[in-house]
Amino acid sequence: MKKVIFILSLVFILAFTSVTAFAQTANEITVAIDSVKVEFTEDSGFPFIDENSRTLVPFKKALETYGATVEWNNDSRVATAVKNDIKVEVPIGQNYIIVNGEQKAIDTAARIVNDRTFLPIKAVIEAFGSEVVWDQNLRTVVITTIPVDAKAIFTQANSKSADWKNYDADIIMNMSLPVKDDAGSIQTMTMNMKMFMTIFTDPSIKAKINSSVVMNMMGQEVVQPVMDMYLTADDKSLTTYMGMNDGTGSLTWTKSAVEDEMFGELFKHNKETIKANQELTEKYTKDVKYFGKYKDEAGKTLLRMQYTMSGEIYNDMFGEYIKNIESSTDEQEAMTAEILKGFANGNFGDLTYIIYIDEATGEIVKYEMDLSSIVNSMMEGMTAMLGEIPAEEMEMLKQMKATMVMEVLNVNQAKDFEIPEEALNAPEMSELIEQTQDTTTESTETGIQ
């Protein structure tokens, strides 16, 4: 059981101390040129996505805002845009554009809708030499006229975060799960978890988490008790202290201490380890996209970026550890290996994060992440641990959605804390479980007699 507690705590640390849930999507499609939104109207027409999953935008409004001179030839049914020494001709209904006299194939066609010309924005703007990316979460076409080295900005910001000695994190995690009501109909149960976390990384890792949960089940809001949690980790062990609210405001504490050589590599905080982690990040970084500048509520200018990391990174992190325990005769260790294999084998695919970087400081101030694939993969890996789950219920569990937003606060200025005595002196969770099992066995044997 200690190994189970270990891996769940480890996953908690990986998820909550590194990244994190996408912003809510808007219904309309936005076009932003160098972070300035193009204002479309009923008169100009509005962007839409065609049957080829390509974004078409009003030609005149978009290109004039971009700084090009536009013309329309009604006889040839060709729209023309000119900027600097580049001329782009866009024939209606054709899967090509003409750039300075050279025909270039595209995967969709311009069209006329309600007497307005709509063009495939990505192909045309890229013909002028600008960068065009699609921000799926905000449904925004991001056009950048001046090149931005997104990977360099992210790498520098990520390096700065590796030097944080302490910080606070304000976290909101939203989850939803389909469930059957008494009538057999499928309803959606939602749960919003709010957490405030304080992390210290030097000289060793310790964390404090205060959480509250609000659930909406079949139209009824249910407030769950608060849980307090402390974690301490060094190169030898991980200790978890969990205080569950009993409904009256009091906390019932348990603790779990696990010793493992794996911690020697995971939790060291020195120059060599930081460098190794940065090299690992560099190795598995697949893509970094720049999504423009946004103002936060305090007026700070934030750079919104999307970072994609290969899920194969966990094979480097857990590979050797899995080899050491997968053949273990200990049931708990074997199950732990199965859960970790889901990470190491990249079962949930690549990991994509949205991050916000403070333009003034170059530091990451906010993370967003969709955790659905990770949660689903963990649930599958824990099937053996949880016992036989009916296929219908497992299918519902696989449909669980989970997103998370984490704002970073008080970097290197977080308030230090001490673990309360009642937590330090709490009974071991494994001992409580064994006592419960012994009591159950005795009761069963008594019943048989």
pLDDT for 235 equals 72
Neighbours of 225 (CB within 10 A): 14
Question: What's the whole-number mean pLDDT along residues 108-134?
Answer: 94
Confidence band for 20, pLDDT divided at 50, 70 and 90: very low
3-state secondary structure of 168: strand
Tens-place pLDDT, residues 158-175: 889 888 999 999 998 888
pLDDT for 313 equals 76
pLDDT for 19 equals 38
> Which candidate, 133, 122, 117, 157, places its Cα nearest to that of 35?
133
pLDDT for 8 equals 43
The model carries a pTM of 0.81
pLDDT for 337 equals 67
Confidence band for 448, pLDDT divided at 50, 70 and 90: very low
Query: Is residue 62 within 8 Å of 48, Cβ to Cβ?
Result: no
List of residues 6+ apart from 49 with CB closer than 8 A: 29, 55, 56
Tens-place pLDDT, residues 271-303: 666 676 777 778 888 899 999 999 998 999 999
Tens-place pLDDT, residues 380-389: 655 555 556 6
Does an H or E element contain 195, and which? strand 186-200
Which segments of 47-155 are extended strands (E)? Answer: 48-49, 55-58, 69-73, 78-83, 86-91, 96-99, 102-105, 111-113, 116-120, 131-135, 140-144
3-state secondary structure of 223: strand
Tell me the chain's radius of gyration from C-alpha atoms: 27
pLDDT at 80 over 50: yes
d(CA 203, CA 208): 16
Tens-place pLDDT, residues 175-193: 888 877 777 788 777 778 8
pLDDT at 435 over 80: no
Higher pLDDT, 330 or 201: 201
Give the 3-state DSSP-derived string for 403-432, with helices as H, strands as E and coil as C. EEEEEEECCCCCCCCCCCHHHHCCCEHHHH
3-state secondary structure of 283: helix
pLDDT at 325 over 90: no
pLDDT for 173 equals 85
Tens-place pLDDT, residues 410-426: 999 999 999 999 999 98
Strand partners, 239: 232, 257
pLDDT for 241 equals 92
Tens-place pLDDT, residues 333-384: 666 666 666 666 666 678 888 999 999 999 999 999 887 777 766 666 555 5
444: left (phi over 0), alpha (psi -120 to 50) or beta: alpha
Tens-place pLDDT, residues 50-68: 998 899 999 999 999 999 9
> Interhelix angle for 331-344 vs 313-325, to 10°?
160
List of residues 6+ apart from 200 with CB closer than 8 A: 165, 166, 206, 207, 414, 416
